[in-house]
Amino acid sequence: MFELTNISFNDTSDTLTILETGVYDISFSASTTFPGSSPFGFGISFNGQPPTRNFSTNVIGSAVSFSTIVTLQAGTTISIQPTANTISIPNTGDTTATLSVFRIY
């Protein structure tokens, strides 16, 4: 478990927990070039619920990215979940992903 300002990260469950109520900017992007991965998509899961929006692409070699601004209560958990297919990513070095979460106020 890693604690950052306003957020903790549990590397066992791959979840972030909001420690302070506020307005947060959440951004995620992923790309891959390996064959057989299309379509691939992701969504933000809050408190273990299925994602309410799906961000996906059918194009191999392109990226899927999204950003949202939401008001979150202390104790809310955040995770990124696959939405378009079961995703199996081989260890080829051809996949990148980033997640950024920060408190605006």
**CA-CA distance, 79 to 95, in Å (whole number)?**
19
Considering the entire predicted model, what is its pTM?
0.77
User: What domain range includes position 49?
Assistant: 2-103
Q: What's the mean per-residue pLDDT of the chain?
A: 79
| CATH number of the domain to which 66 belongs | 2.60.120.40
Q: Which is nearest to 76 in space by CA: 32, 24, 31, 4?
A: 24
Q: What is the pLDDT of residue 67?
A: 86
pLDDT band at 19 (very low <50, low <70, confident <90, very high): very high
Tell me how many domains the chain contains. Answer: 1
